Amino acid sequence: MKNTLNVVELFAGVGGFRLGLERADANVFKTVWANQWEPSRKVQHAFECYKENFKTGMDDYSNEDIAAVPETVINDFNIDLLVGGFPCQDYSVARSLNNEQGLEGKKGVLFWEIKRFVEQSHPKYILLENVDRLLKSPSKQRGRDFAVMLATFRDLGYIVEWRIVNAAEVGFVQKRRRIFIFAYKNHLDFAQKQLKLTADKIVFQEGFFAQTFPVKKQPYKNRINTVKLPKDIVEISDTFAHEFHTAGVMIEGKVFTAHTEILDESFTPLKNILQEESDVDESFYLTEEQATKFAYLRGPKKIERTSADGFKYIFSEGGMSPTDDINGPGRTMLTSEASVNRSTHIIEVNGRKRFLTPIECERLNGFPTNWTAGMPNRMRYFCMGNALVVDLIEKMGNKIIEINQKETITSTQTKLNV
């Protein structure tokens, strides 16, 4: 079994997946290509940050529309592990007008680019990240989009495990809940081992996520269910709805899902990642006007509003602490961090209130100090609001290494057996 794994990173951002995998073992995970492109921005800050931090050849990463990457290029990568944090979009599909058996996904939906890469390269492993609301999307047909994804991987020959992970429950500093999806070819040694287990044992004890982030043996409030996905993805898109819980496994279209709870919950306090106050520029401290505005935004309120059709109603909002508790974990960081809004972190140190600095926001996600240096502060906050918690990827990378060390199936054999 070869020791290295060729990695392709899609929707790379500032490189959180790559950084986490290389922390696990840079000699095992070799990123052979990465794509990062923000269509709405003239200056590609995230791509430039990625390029600056990973000193590789220009052929190793791409700043172009991923849909424009030809299949011939994809075939050359010999991908073992495909990773990416893709946007949560509408995954509905329909019959192709040109071919009754073909499918058409909504244009511009980046998940179909993941599918295209998988179809062309058949990686052994796939590791994806998304917002936790993916499990309940869309609101009028809960679970449809996730079911379309599961059925897509089923048809491509993969077993899929998933788990919503809150980084602040597994030892880290940010209350960031994200869904992680791990798919693996169904004839790999690891897959064959899993096929001998019951689905509940995979989810609660022996699966990829159960081994990486151990959970209690019983589901929360007995929330557990099963479902068989229809064979026709169009039928799923048109009529399927299901409640997917925070963890689960899909094998050959059979889904087992449960609401799991972390076995030994722990966090890192926010104070542990703060800079020395002597290093914090005066511009990060609140002005009197900003302090007054935040007191209002974070306080309770009832406001009469009028809808577009003239209906009057009362908008109510509960109060929150005037400042964030630095002895607890940080709240979820958004792309709007450090702007004047309710979700922005405000801390009080030595009697003075201030924003988190860009460096502290990097640390909140587990990035090294000044990882995003060189771009405007506004973009540094934006990029960190979009980033994942690198420490989680390091943990998952270590588990992938452990799994792969026991594999006898090579990537070449994997492709031949599809």
**What are 291's two structure tokens?**
């302090």
Using an 8 Å Cβ cutoff, are 141 and 241 in contact? yes
Between the CA of residue 219 and those of 65, 225, 267, 321, what are the distances in Å?
42, 11, 22, 32
Active site residue 49: no
Between the CA of residue 303 and those of 6, 8, 315, what are the distances in Å?
55, 49, 5
Count of C-beta atoms within a 10 Å radius of residue 300: 9
Q: What is the helix (H) or strand (E) element at residue 70, kind and residue range?
A: none
Q: Which of 228, 99, 209, 230 is nearest to 164 (CA)?
A: 209
| Sequence letter at residue 99 | N
The CA distance from 393 to 20, in Å, is 5
Q: Under DSSP, is residue 393 helix (H, G, I), strand (E, B) or coil?
A: helix
Cβ neighbours of residue 140 closer than 8 Å, sequence gap 6 or more: none
Classify residue 313 by burial, with Cβ atoms within 10 Å: 0-12, 13-18, 19+: exposed
**What are 95's two structure tokens?**
């019959």
The CA distance from 58 to 89, in Å, is 30
The CA distance from 235 to 258, in Å, is 24
Cβ neighbours of residue 167 closer than 8 Å, sequence gap 6 or more: 173, 174, 175, 176, 178, 389, 391, 392
| Sequence letter at residue 23 | R
The CA distance from 344 to 347, in Å, is 10
**In which residue are the tokens 């926001």 written?**
361
Question: Active-site residue numbers?
Answer: 88
